[in-house]
Structure 1
Amino acid sequence: MKMTHSKIIVFITGAFVSSDGWNDWKEYFEQQGYRTIAPAWPYKDAPACTLRQRHPDAEVASLRLTDLIAYFIGIVEALPEKPILIGHSMGGLITQLLVQKGLATAGIAIHSLQPQGIFTFKFSFYKAGWAALGFFTDAKKTFLMSFAQWQYAFTNSMSYEEQKDAYYKLLIPESKLVVRDATTSAAKIDFTRPHAPLLFLSGSNDHFIPASLNYTNYKKYTHTGSITDYKEFVGRNHFVLGQPGWQENANFILKWLNEL
C-alpha cells in the first residue's frame, strides 16, 4: 500500500553555514507542490556577512545541541501537520533525532553527522573537523573556519572561484560546544525503535562526513518493519547542497518520497 506523507518540508541546516544554502532547494520543492521552510538557527537569522562581523559571537557560542533539538521541535509542533524533514550534516543528525521522537512523516539525512557511539578511522574526518571542536581554546568564543579549512572540509574538488563564492555567501561562525555535543547522550539514537521512513544520502568525495560513516549510521538501524534506505553519490563533497549538480540529489529525494 502506498504511504501518504506531508506536503510540508522543513529543511534543517547544518553547522558552519547559513540557512540560505537551502534557497535553491526550497524553490525546487515548491515547484513540486510542497510548502517549505528553512529556519535559521537561533542567533543566526541574518546574512552570512553580518554574522561573520559579529565573530566572536557569545550568543552563538552558547548554543548546545539540546537547544537546537528543542528549537526545531517547537517549529515542527507548530505546523498544521507532521512534516517531511530534510537535514544536512548536523541538520541530518537533528533530523534523525526528531524522526526518533515521531515528529515527521519521513526524514532525509544528507551527509548526516554521526550520532553518539558511531566512529570512523578516516583521517579526512579528523582533519576536517578537529579545529571546530576547539579543544584547548575558549568555548565562549565562536569558531570561524578559514578559507583553507573550508576548501578541505566543504568544497574540495570544486573550482577556486566556486569555493570562494560559496565561502563568502554562506560561511558563518559556529559554537564549539554544539559540535562537541554530537559525542554526548544528546545525540543518542535508539536504532531498534520503529520509525518513519528514513533516507541517508552520502558522497564519495566528502572529507568532513565520509560516505563510510554515513553507511555505518544507516546500517545501525535494525527495526525490520521500518523503511531505511541509503544512497551514495559519486563525486559529491560536503557542500552537496550547493555543489554543481545538486539537482541530482534533489531529484532522487523527490522520487524516493513519491514511491513511499
Structure 2
Amino acid sequence: MKTSKTKTVVFVTGAFVSNSGWDEWKAYFESKGYDTIAPAWPFKDGTAAELRARQPNDTDLAHLTLDELVTHYENIVKALPEKPIVIGHSLGGLVTQIIVNQGLAAAGVAIHSVPPQGVFPYEFSFLKAGWKSLGLFTSLDETYLMSFEDWQYAFVNEMPLEEQQAAYEANTIPESKNVARGGLTSAAHVDYEKPHPPLLLTSGSIDNIIPAHLNHRNYEAYKSSGSVLDYKEFPGRNHYVLGQPTWKEDADYILAWLDKNA
C-alpha cells in the first residue's frame, strides 16, 4: 500500500515511557509511503537508561505541566506545511484528541487513550495502575518512576517475565507528577459536541490502566458531534500494545482506516 500523496504522521508518546517505543511503527509507516516523526516530550532528551539516571532530581521534567506538553505538540503540528495525521498512545492519545478537537490534524488515532476531562475513570484497575503517578503527599519537585512491579500490572500484564523485564529496561522513564495531575483539570478538556477531523479510538481487552470499558465511554461521549468517528477493541492487547507481537496487526488496521478516512 502506498498513499497517493505523501502524508506526515506525528506519533505522540504517552507517559512513563520513551518515544523510542514508536521506532518500529515509524519504520513500518514509512514503508507504506508516509513521512513520520515521533518527537520526545520536553526534557526527555535521552535514552531510557539516561533518563532514569536523572531520577528523582530532574526538576525541569518534574515541573512540566499538561498544558505545556499539549502546547509542545501543537507547535510541532502547526510548524508542518500541511495538517498531519496524529497518532498517540495513552496520555499521547489524550493529546491527540485535543489536537483533533482543535482542527489541527487531518485525522487522528488515539490508542488506549487517557480519557479527557468529564469521562470519569471509575474502574478499579485504572486507579490501582495510575494513582501513584499523581504523587499525592510527595514533592512536585521530584519526578515519579514506575516500579517494575507496577509496570507489570499497568503495562505488561500477561506477558512472560523475561519480556516484561526487557520492556521495562528499554522503555520506562521518570515522569512529571504535574502532567499526571493535569489529566484531572481543564487542561484535559475536549469539546465532544464540536465537529472534528476523522478520529479512531482503539482499546485492548486486557489493558489494566486504560480498560476497554473506559475507552468505549470516551468514544460514546462524541456521538453528538456528527463527525467521522470509529472505535475498535483488539483482543489480548495490554497497555504495552505498541510493543506486543501483535503490533503490526494493529498498525495495519490503522493504515486501512487512514486510507479510507484521511
TM over 0.5: yes
Shift of 1:6: 6.6
Q: Which residue of 1 aligns with 2:152?
A: 151
Once residues 5 and 231 of structure 1 are traced to their aligned partners in structure 2, the CA distance between those partners, rounded to angstroms, is 26
**Residue 220 (structure 1) shift:** 0.4
SS in 1 for 2:183: helix
SS, match of residue 86 in structure 2? strand
Alignment-derived partner of residue 82 in structure 1: 83
Q: CA deviation at 1:209?
A: 0.4
Give the aligned residue type for 2:128.
K
Deviations 1:155-200 (A, max 9, x none): 0011111110010011000001101111100111110000000000
- The match for 1:24 is 24
1:192 aligned partner: 193
Counterpart code for 1:20: S
- The equivalent residue for 2:39 is 39
Seq. identity, %: 58
1:49-198 equivalences under 5 Å are 49-56=49-56, 57-198=58-199
Partner of 1:230, secondary structure, is strand
Q: Which amino acid aligns with 2:39?
A: P
**SS of 1:239's equivalent?**
coil
1:241 Cα shift?
0.3
Change (3 A) 1:61 1:224: closer
CA–CA distance in 2 between the matches of 1:207 and 1:14? 15
Superposed CA RMSD in Å reads 1.2
Shift, 1:93, TM fit: 0.2
Q: Deviations over 1:21-42 (max 9, x none)?
A: 0000000100000000000000
Task: State how far apart, in whole Å, the 1-side matches of 2:117 and 2:71 are.
Answer: 18
- Structure 2 Cα separation of the partners of residues 214 and 200 of structure 1: 7
In structure 1, what is the equivalent of residue 215 of structure 2? Answer: 214
Matched, 1:247 2:248: yes
CA distance in structure 2 between the partners assigned to 1:42 and 1:224 by the alignment: 32
* Cα-to-partner distance string for 1:119-159 (whole Å, 9 max, x where unaligned): 13321111000111110111110000000000000000111
Unaligned runs of 5+ in 1: none
Contact 2:51–2:173 under 8 Å retained in 1: yes
Q: 1:141 to 1:5 in 2, by over 3 A?
A: farther
Residue pair 2:6, 2:35 contacting (<8 A) in 1 also: no
Deviation at 1:222, TM superposition (A): 2.9
Out of 98-107 and 223-232, give the one that drifted further: 223-232
Q: Is the 8 A contact 1:5 1:106 kept in 2?
A: no
Structure 1 contact 95–108 (Cα < 8 Å) conserved: yes
Task: In structure 2, give the amino acid aligned to 1:45.
Answer: D
Cross-structure match for 2:206: 205
What is the aligned length?
A: 257
Task: Check conservation: 2:194, 2:225, Cα contact below 8 A.
Answer: no
1:259 match: secondary structure: helix
* Matched residue, 1:226: 227
Gaps of 5+ in 2: none
Paired with 2:78 and 2:143, the residues of 1 have a C-alpha distance of 30
1:65, distance to aligned residue in structure 2 (A): 0.6
In the alignment, is the contact (CA less than 8 A) between 1:12 and 1:95 conserved in 2?
A: yes
2:197 is paired with a residue whose SS is coil
**Partner of 2:143: helix, strand, or coil?**
coil
**Range that drifts further, 249-258 or 112-121:** 112-121
Corresponding residue SS for 1:221: coil
Contact map agreement 2:90 2:113 (CA 8 A) in 1 = yes
Return the alpha-carbon distance in structure 2 between the equivalents of residues 33 and 214 of structure 1: 29
Question: Do the aligned partners of 2:196 and 2:225 also contact (CA within 8 Å) in 1?
Answer: no
Q: Deviations over 1:211-237 (max 9, x none)?
A: 011100011013453101000001100
Residues 192, 5 of structure 1: alpha-carbon distance in 2 compared, 3 angstrom cutoff: farther
